[in-house]
Amino acid sequence: MNTSPWNRFVKYLYSANQWYRETPSRALEQAYDAALAIKAIEDEHFGGQGISERSGDYGHSTLSYFKSELQKYLKVIQTRMVEFNASRSFLELPDRVGAKPKAGYNAPPHRHPLDLNSKDRASLVFEKLEFIDGVIDKYINNSKSTAIVPVVTSVNLPVKSPNISSQPYGKNGASNVHQTQAGEVDTNSEEVNLLPRSLLGTLNRITKELDPEAEKEVVKNFRNSKVKTVISLRFILLLILVPLLTNQISKNFIVGPVVDHFRVKQNAPVFINVDLAEEAFKELERFEQQLKFETLIGRAPSLSSEQTEKKIAEKAVEIAEEYRTESGGAIKNIFADLISCMAFAAIIITNKKEIEILKSFMDDVVYGLSDSAKAFVIILFTDVFVGFHSPHGWEIILEGVSRHLGLPENRQFIFLFIATFPVILDTVFKYWIFRYLNRSSPSAVATYKNMNE
């Protein structure tokens, strides 16, 4: 039996309202899953300690992989906690709790909030918040922390009850930070080991090498790296080939016939802009001068004025047809490029997982380069796009783009673009070197400065 449009509309409103009311619990659950993923990496690869160079004996490429994973999960937690706090401000959620959340590394069970009463729901919410805080507290901005990247700031963290103290859980449940009397977290205290960390790292490496499962772990990591490389290269080819094929197919079989039909039907002008007309006039004038020159030097028979005018007329028709085709091609390029951009955007939107894998692969490639290679790439990039000879390259690029789209070559716009955009790009690039590269790879920055001098 078919329902009326009004009933369908009411059902849609009810579903939308139900989805909106579940936003806080859904956001909290996703943040909690990301915290569990970080904790799993800590327990499996860093002995329960924070993800840092001191907690595990790994190479630079492996650490960069863990770094990218940590950044990804911390970003998920940060985004979902903002969503949780924002949506919770407009919805009625329990603000009081009857029992204090449990401390220690005991992950709260996955229970649907609708299966619990108000008191149990509040207790479950606070247990998950405490667990999330316990995982990410060691990655908050801390000048003496050994974590790789402090991404999440305390501004984005959920507000907790004053009587709840969240602690990052280290090995054997030990805490890496201490609570002060004023209720503030003292992040300057650091766990002291009886033996040097380098010696502990060496012992840890020897233990792993003697582990019977070590070979399986190496093979597993190699397979994961191989799969990540294959997926990344395939996705790069997809990003390049699909827009190009879409452009050519749409231009030749969809946009082209439509544009040709309307231009012939409406008797469209030969030239789409003034620049093309000037080029055609110069070409016709050059043909007339060449014809006269060949006649004067005896390389061509002498022609009467009627014959000369006839040849010039034939050449004018030929030039007009050529520039008519070029004008139509510029219109086709505009629509074909729009379709290609839509195809590229569709690939980006529908392949978020592949984008994350590609980002991790690019991080491995970049961090795997030596300091001299990094400096070489930086100098090559800056000299090409913002160097002394870059204005000539930008001018050629802008002229080519204008001709491709059928736009007149505005010299004032080109000169203004060259005078501003490379300067802005150079400023952004220097800020990136100062803000990020100087922190992640200071030796590469030093090599870059030496090579640049």
pLDDT confidence of residue 304:
84
DSSP assignments along 280-305, one per residue: HHHHHHHHHHHHHHHHHTTSS----H
Q: What's the mean pLDDT when you consider all of the chain?
A: 76
Highest mean pLDDT among 155-169, 261-275, 413-427: 413-427
Residues 27, 87: contact at Cβ < 8 Å? yes
Confidence band (pLDDT; 50, 70, 90) for 445?
Answer: confident
pLDDT confidence of residue 236:
94
Residues recorded for the chain = 453
Distance CA 359, CA 167 (A): 31
Coil, helix or strand at residue 52: strand
- Taking 50 as the threshold, does the pLDDT of residue 181 lie above it? no
pLDDT confidence of residue 66:
80
Confidence band (pLDDT; 50, 70, 90) for 199?
Answer: low
Average pLDDT rounded to a whole number, residues 358-368? 86
**Cα 208 to the chain's mean position, in Å?**
35
Q: What angle do CA 364, 367, 372 make, to 5 degrees?
A: 140
What percentage of the chain exceeds 90 in pLDDT?
A: 18
- pLDDT higher for 52 or 170? 52
Distance CA 201, CA 58 (A): 9
Q: Which amino acid is at 76?
A: V
Report pLDDT digits (tens) over 287-332. 999 988 888 888 878 888 888 889 999 999 999 999 988 998 999 9
- Taking 70 as the threshold, does the pLDDT of residue 347 lie above it? yes
Highest mean pLDDT among 11-20, 98-107, 121-130: 121-130
- Taking 50 as the threshold, does the pLDDT of residue 101 lie above it? no
- Taking 80 as the threshold, does the pLDDT of residue 93 lie above it? no
| 276 half-sphere exposure, CB direction, 13 A CA radius | 24
Tokens of 242: 């699909």
**Cα 446 to the chain's mean position, in Å?**
27
- Taking 70 as the threshold, does the pLDDT of residue 115 lie above it? no
Predicted structure pTM score: 0.53
Distance CA 214, CA 29 (A): 34
Report pLDDT digits (tens) over 37-71. 888 888 777 777 788 776 666 767 677 778 778 88
- Taking 60 as the threshold, does the pLDDT of residue 161 lie above it? no
Distance CA 441, CA 290 (A): 63
Residues 448, 370: contact at Cβ < 8 Å? no
What percentage of the chain exceeds 70 in pLDDT?
A: 72
Average pLDDT rounded to a whole number, residues 221-240? 90
Residues 355, 255: contact at Cβ < 8 Å? no
Provide the terminal-to-terminal Cα distance of the chain, rounded to the nearest Å.
80
Q: Which range has the worst mean pLDDT, 27-41, 47-61, 154-168?
A: 154-168
- Taking 90 as the threshold, does the pLDDT of residue 341 lie above it? yes
pLDDT confidence of residue 265:
77
Residue keyed to tokens 């790994």: 58
With a CB cutoff of 8 Å and minimum separation 6, the contacts of 10 are: none
pLDDT confidence of residue 55:
64
Q: Residue 240: how many CB atoms within 10 A of its CB?
A: 11
